[in-house]
Amino acid sequence: MYSERVSRVLGAAVGGLSSVIVACSSVSIDDSKQEPFEVLVHVTSDPGVPLAGAQILSGTKNVGTTNDAGAARVKFGGKEGDQVELTVVCPTDYEPPPSPLSIGLRRLSPGSPPPQFAARCAPTLRTAVVGVRADRGPNLPVTYLGRTVGHTDASGAALFVLRVKPAEAIAITLDTTGKGGELLHPQNPTLTFVAKDQDDFVVLDQFFKVDKKPGAVHPKEPSRPTPL
């Protein structure tokens, strides 16, 4: 009798355990990893001018760098519906965009092209080709920020290149302190222009008045009596 009761208890326990195992085996656990999200980031320095070497960060992680075409194909993880920010780190001498790229994550149908986003790294310096036409001002040094950047030729013309900041007021001086310059007016004139947010060619004109060199003074001969 006792052995039969033990057998019935063990049988019930084994049956219950089997039910638990079957129930657990019916719960699916998906360990497969989701495909990463992918976007294409285009970075330019000026409209239509691609910029290579810009780094794309997700948080503090570098997830891409733009190529010679200014493009970076970026992949990162996340959940659909999340909002992700990508920071563009520009190369030296370029300013970063005012704000990061904000990207909403969503799954696309297979074969769809990745979403595209654009950012600009504006140059911190611009190239200004400056031409000076100094009427009656040949062979004069041209100075900028206290250093000589060129000289006018025999016709009074000079051509030189400056690297300037956009919107910066540029002052060019024609140095008249050398020999012969003392006859020119005005003395040490300053020519100005405002740098644009693009490479530019600037022409500056200066007109001089030239004093006449004082002539030699010949002493008058003493008067003599008029012969009769």
Closest listed residue to residue 134, CA positions, set 182, 193, 162, 175: 175
Q: Is the model's pLDDT at 28 over the cut of 80? A: no
Q: Which residue ranges make up each domain of the chain? A: 37-123, 126-210
Average pLDDT over residues 178-202: 95
pLDDT of residue 11: 52
Closest listed residue to residue 164, CA positions, set 133, 142, 192: 192
- List, for residues 116-129, the tens digit of each pLDDT value: 999 999 999 999 99
pLDDT band for 144, please (50, 70, 90 cuts).
very high
How many C-beta atoms surround the C-beta of residue 162 within 10 A?
20
Q: What does the alpha-carbon distance between residue 161 and residue 163 come to, in Å, rounded to a whole number? A: 7
On whether the 37-123 domain is CATH 2.60.40.2070, my answer is yes
Q: Which stretch of 19-28, 134-143, 194-203, 205-214 has the lowest confidence by average pLDDT?
A: 19-28
CATH of 126-210, one of 3.30.420.40, 3.30.70.360, 3.30.750.24, 2.60.40.2610: 2.60.40.2610
With 0-12 CB in 10 A as exposed, 13-18 as middle and 19+ as buried, what is 169?
exposed
pLDDT of residue 31: 37
Is 126-210 the same fold as 37-123?
yes
181: alpha, beta or left? (left if phi > 0; alpha if psi -120 to 50)? alpha
Q: What does the alpha-carbon distance between residue 168 and residue 221 come to, in Å, rounded to a whole number? A: 64
